[in-house]
Amino acid sequence: MSTISPDQLPTPFWPGAPATTPATMSNQTGRPAGRPGRAGLISAAVAGLVLLGGAGLVAFGGSDTSPSSTRNDERGGERGDEPDRTEAEDPDVRVTTADLDRAYAMVFGVQGSPATLDCVAGEIEGDGDELAADVLGWADGGQLSLAAAQRVFTPFVGCAPDADFLAEMVPAAVQVVGGAADEGCITATLLNLGLEGRAEAHALAYADPGQFVDRMYSTFVGCAI
């Protein structure tokens, strides 16, 4: 794994992502030479990610601070002195620890720690009944619009440790750019992204995998070797 300087990082291709030069949407309609077809790219991305409703699930974002550390700091650390959360702000919509554990595994393919799930529960509580209902409906197999998916994924990607995020994203990024890439470049780019972009990337992977793969390729093609 090589070491690169910040000015060598590829320009992030995600809204809200920090960049040394403004990121713009490409008007290119053809594929770069050597780039596999869209179906192949989606298959490659899915192979390294969790399957969710037939689409690969991945995250991005834009901040110098890890979203999970920011959320946990704001919520007073790991909240070990509080009992397990079992319902959202509206008592008619119950989000149990088991629901959150199942949903977190759907997002990242791993189990969330108690502290992480507590953070997610707190974020859902703070947003009220609509978000709680969307999370429960999605976890039970319901379909989400792009906007609803971004709302649902936000508390999960905001509370997840970077290790969970990187474990799904780095292999997928390597596959999308052709299977040979500088993982240090990919990791540095990912860690320089923040909450809004991470949530949008998850939402696009769920609701619009074609656009997700195109943006992912454009973000990480500079890391290919």
Res 27 pLDDT > 80 = no
pLDDT in the model for residue 8: 47
The amino acid occupying position 21 is T
Band of residue 110 on the pLDDT scale cut at 50, 70, 90: confident
Closest CA to 209 of 97, 50, 78, 34: 50
Residue 74: CA count within 13 A, CB half-sphere: 14
- Reading the block at residue 3, the tokens are 């070491």
**pLDDT digit string (tens) for 35-58?**
434 333 233 344 434 333 333 333
Please, what sign has the CA dihedral across residues 71, 73, 77, 83?
negative
- In degrees and rounded to multiples of 5, residue 55 shows phi and psi of -120, 150
CA distance 144 to 4: 39
The residue-averaged pLDDT of 192-197 equals: 82
DSSP-assigned beta bridge partners for residue 57: 50
Q: Other C-beta atoms within 10 Å of 116: how many?
A: 23
Res 123 pLDDT > 90 = yes
CB 10 within 8 A of CB 219: yes
- In degrees and rounded to multiples of 5, residue 60 shows phi and psi of -145, -155
